[in-house]
A and B are shown apart, each in its own frame.
Chain A
């Protein structure tokens, strides 16, 4: 009887320890950014900056017109282009991290192929109180567009910083355009976007 009880206590202790070990949040979870939820079409605020996604486009190909030359950017999936605006609130900053979180949990980083496009988010310096139009582009498999979320943060390596999580919701564009052309613009927004 006593032996059985000892055994039972042992088993119980092992089970408890195992459960505790598996449910302990890891370093990544503890230092994860704090999500602030919003939707496409509205201004979403953090303590340091505000961001709003206005227009969402889907395209098979992107053409960039720059100083008379046209560059073609193809993709094996689809281009997701977001036009929006961002403003810093407390200090001069640059929003260097933007990811597309697909419904199945895969993270797609902002395409690094448009660093020369005017108004591209990670190259745009934001002064406090002066809103700037910004452009974002992602290369995604077609299935990753639905139920996707746009994540925007100051930096990827800042623990416990705020991160915007902007749901696409029902704002998904109805059709995928064969080609979209981005060109420099002299007035208004620094670029123009035209579907061909």
Chain B
């Protein structure tokens, strides 16, 4: 091993010290900001009806809510039932047809309805909606079967989910959409049963 001069060793030590401290500082700042963000989440905006929410993948507009004794198909159920019907508009902003909107909207409530997921119908021909195409905004009707033992609500609070796109996910490096909390909360009044809404 050749003899290294003292000044050279000192210089190397200095470089190691500077890079070490720099790296540690970067890690600390990144960690601290992550902790800070988790402790202070950005507040979710609360909006009213007829306002468009941009959730990244979807543009959602809630147009109104009412109680009804009839499902949107217009066929009276065998046993009398009540439905919470929400009119909405969806625009798929992603590159491909998708049916993920089925999990997008949930009722914010302490006691969730018996049937947590609504059935979606196309407003234009009353068929069950399957998937929404990009660049083709659709008017939809979501219907929750309202439990018989619960009073009809006067107001409704809907939580609208958000998804973000990752060109490379952390597992495979594959492109995909991932759930990312709430985009907005929509508060709107519920108009009471329009009983004679025959079609």
Q: Which residues of A contact B (CB under 8 A)?
A: 26-28, 31, 72-74, 76-77, 99, 105-109, 111-113, 139-141, 144
A112 CA to B95 CA in the complex, in Å?
18
- A sample of 13 inter-chain contacts (CB < 8 A) reads A26-B168, A74-B124, A76-B138, A77-B133, A106-B95, A107-B134, A108-B97, A108-B133, A111-B130, A112-B131, A140-B136, A141-B135, A141-B136
B interface majority secondary structure: loop
Least CB distance, A83 to chain B, in whole angstroms: 22
When A and B form their complex, what is the total count of cross-chain residue pairs whose Cβ atoms lie within 8 Å?
Answer: 56
Q: Which residues of B contact A (CB under 8 A)?
A: 95-97, 124-125, 127, 130-131, 133-138, 167-168, 172-175
Least CB distance, A66 to chain B, in whole angstroms: 14
Least CB distance, A195 to chain B, in whole angstroms: 19
- Note all chain A residues with C-beta closer than 8 A to B127: 73, 113
Residue on B nearest A144 in the bound complex, by CB: B135
Least CB distance, B69 to chain A, in whole angstroms: 25
CB pair A26 B125 closer than 8 Å: no
CB pair A140 B133 closer than 8 Å: yes
- Note all chain A residues with C-beta closer than 8 A to B136: 76-77, 139-141
- Note all chain A residues with C-beta closer than 8 A to B130: 111-113
CB pair A109 B97 closer than 8 Å: yes
- Note all chain A residues with C-beta closer than 8 A to B134: 106-108
CB pair B96 A109 closer than 8 Å: yes
- Note all chain A residues with C-beta closer than 8 A to B124: 74, 76
CB pair B95 A139 closer than 8 Å: no
CB pair A107 B96 closer than 8 Å: yes
Least CB distance, B147 to chain A, in whole angstroms: 30
Least CB distance, A88 to chain B, in whole angstroms: 26
- Note all chain A residues with C-beta closer than 8 A to B133: 77, 108-109, 139-141
- Note all chain A residues with C-beta closer than 8 A to B174: 26-28, 31
A106 CA to B168 CA in the complex, in Å?
20
CB pair A107 B175 closer than 8 Å: no
CB pair B125 A74 closer than 8 Å: yes
